[in-house]
């Protein structure tokens, strides 16, 4: 009976994961989807703790350690999630993803250590799962920690001499040593842990040179790695919930990575090897002399927007830094009251992680139907009177279409120059996250509105209300 209830709990957990992932595809149901998946996970965890029995009929013990770990993890995770600023959301996602990779790595290490001391011979299939879980989990952990450091600014881009050759050598070493361990050529633990060290080195070296503009793709890729590593843990423990969850995360992360690469018009190989947005990015395109830019006042900006029929707002990381999403929504409502249609143009790689701008605006209760994907936004750009760019840079850079020497050449962008007026809100004329100068700022249709996004938007709202 206990085993039947346990398997039923696993089935419920698997179904809720699938339902939750489906509900996450739409902002209106995303919060509920998170709750549904969390409830399924909770059921599976407690069913395992109290109902699981091994081949000898023995259940789990050490409940003090188990519940202490659950309590500490719950408190730390809850506090971190509640206190994190929207600007820090990408690094928190990367850090949490790294913890998932570390768990998969530790599971493989514990199981290998257990087999070494139990004297029970393991099959080739089991050893393949253990080694793959450890390697992928370690790469995900090490790479995610580097990504976390790069996103919060504590780790800078580093281009290592002959880095690609070194990575291939390390990868080759991992493959050779893994084959030796799986084939039973080594019965000690030193070779196994040597693989872990090489995998950690590979994770560090493969993420280190990748520049800021590619970080959304890297985060998505590392997320898929963690999912795959968790799935191997599911195979190892014959646990349907771990297996289902890992497969869902791994497949979803892989699909998202492919879509992100497509949105940037680049291959995954080019992202991982080309390092666009890193130290190489400041090339000829960044050094080219530009003309003069022109500024626009708050009053003139408010006047243009008040007498427009359609305004498109393009959010970027600067909006998140200023925590101005609520003020932006207030501006939208004031313009709507004056009969102005307001829509949002969302580039898939705007911000620091996939969907960053969608999450940012959803937090401010911006209606989902007003968020236009890049293709739809470009279709409506010609009929737009004013485009207001809030802290976005690389996703509106015309060099992506016009300058073959630019590192972002070929990346689809929001074609803002099709609109009548382009107003760019930035703190300064510094390049964006990719480190590339933006020629848009010097074009005839463009005007610069300098200042903190929140303060500028608050002033615009005040100006519009007084008209």
CA 443 to chain centre: 32
Report residue 219: phi and psi, to 5°.
-60, -45
391-337-373-150 Cα dihedral, nearest 10 degrees: 30
- Locate tokens 């530009």: which residue? 290
Do 353 and 93 form a contact (C-beta atoms < 8 A)?
yes
Distances from the Cα of 169 to the Cα of 162, 175, 225, 277, 417, angstroms? 11, 10, 21, 25, 47
**Residues in CB range of 383: below 8 A, 6 or more apart:** 310
User: What does the alpha-carbon distance between residue 177 and residue 191 come to, in Å, rounded to a whole number?
Assistant: 7
DSSP 59: B
N- to C-terminal Cα separation, the chain: 73
CA 449 to chain centre: 29
Residue-wise DSSP of 399-448: HHHH-TTSTTTT-----GGGSSEEEEEESSS---TT----GGGGSTTEEE
User: What does the alpha-carbon distance between residue 193 and residue 133 come to, in Å, rounded to a whole number?
Assistant: 13
User: What does the alpha-carbon distance between residue 16 and residue 220 come to, in Å, rounded to a whole number?
Assistant: 22
User: How many CB atoms are closer than 10 A to CB 318?
Assistant: 22
Where in the sequence numbering do the catalytic residues fall? 394
User: How many CB atoms are closer than 10 A to CB 37?
Assistant: 21
CA 452 to chain centre: 25
User: What does the alpha-carbon distance between residue 147 and residue 92 come to, in Å, rounded to a whole number?
Assistant: 10
CA geometry: angle 368, 374, 378, nearest 5 deg? 110
Kind of pairing between the strands at 341-346 and 310-315: parallel
User: What does the alpha-carbon distance between residue 408 and residue 402 come to, in Å, rounded to a whole number?
Assistant: 10
311-316-319-323 Cα dihedral, nearest 10 degrees: 130
Report residue 314: phi and psi, to 5°.
-115, 105
């Amino acid at each position: 009976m206990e085993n039947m209830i346990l398997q039923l709990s696993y089935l419920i957990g698997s179904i809720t994961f699938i339902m939750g992932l489906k509900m996450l595809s739409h902002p209106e149901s995303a919060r509920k989807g998170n709750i549904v998946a969390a409830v399924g996970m909770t059921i599976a965890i407690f069913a395992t703790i109290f109902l699981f029995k091994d081949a000898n009929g023995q259940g789990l013990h050490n409940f003090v350690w188990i519940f202490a770990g659950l309590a500490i993890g719950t408190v730390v995770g809850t506090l971190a999630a509640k206190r994190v600023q929207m600007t820090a959301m990408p690094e928190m996602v990367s850090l949490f993803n790294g913890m998932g990779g570390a768990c998969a790595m530790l599971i493989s290490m514990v199981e290998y250590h257990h087999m070494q001391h139990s004297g029970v011979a393991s099959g080739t299939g089991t050893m393949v799962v253990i080694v793959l879980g450890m390697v992928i989990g370690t790469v995900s952990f090490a790479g995610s920690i580097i990504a976390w450091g790069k996103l919060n600014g504590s780790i800078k881009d580093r281009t290592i001499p002959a880095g690609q050759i070194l990575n291939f050598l390390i990868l080759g070493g991992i493959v050779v040593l893994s084959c030796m361990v799986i084939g039973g050529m080594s019965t000690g633990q030193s070779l196994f842990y040597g693989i872990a060290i090489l995998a950690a080195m590979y994770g560090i070296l493969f993420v280190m040179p990748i520049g800021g503009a590619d970080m959304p793709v890297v985060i998505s890729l590392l997320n898929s790695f963690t999912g795959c590593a968790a799935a191997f843990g599911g195979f190892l423990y014959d646990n349907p919930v771990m297996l289902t969850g890992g497969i869902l995360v791994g497949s979803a992360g892989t699909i998202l990575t492919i879509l992100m690469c497509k949105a940037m018009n680049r291959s995954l190989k080019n992202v991982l090897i080309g390092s666009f947005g890193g130290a190489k990015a400041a090339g000829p395109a960044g050094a080219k002399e530009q003309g003069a830019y022109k500024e626009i006042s708050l009053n003139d900006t408010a006047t243009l927007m008040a007498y427009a029929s359609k305004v498109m707002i393009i959010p970027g990381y600067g909006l998140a830094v200023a925590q101005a999403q609520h003020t932006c929504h207030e501006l939208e409502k004031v313009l709507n009251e004056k009969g102005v249609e307001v829509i949002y143009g969302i580039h898939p790689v705007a911000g620091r992680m996939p969907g960053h701008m969608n999450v940012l605006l959803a937090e401010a209760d911006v209606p989902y139907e007003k968020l236009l994907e890049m293709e739809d936004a470009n279709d409506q750009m010609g009929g737009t009177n004013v485009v207001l760019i809030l802290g976005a840079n690389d996703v509106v850079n015309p060099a992506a279409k016009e300058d073959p020497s630019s590192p972002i050449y070929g990346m689809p962008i929001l074609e803002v120059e099709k609109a009548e007026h382009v107003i760019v809100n930035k703190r300064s004329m510094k390049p964006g996250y990719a480190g590339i100068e933006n020629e848009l700022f010097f074009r005839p249709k463009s005007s610069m509105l300098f200042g903190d996004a929140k303060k500028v938007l608050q002033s615009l709202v005040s100006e519009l209300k007084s008209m």
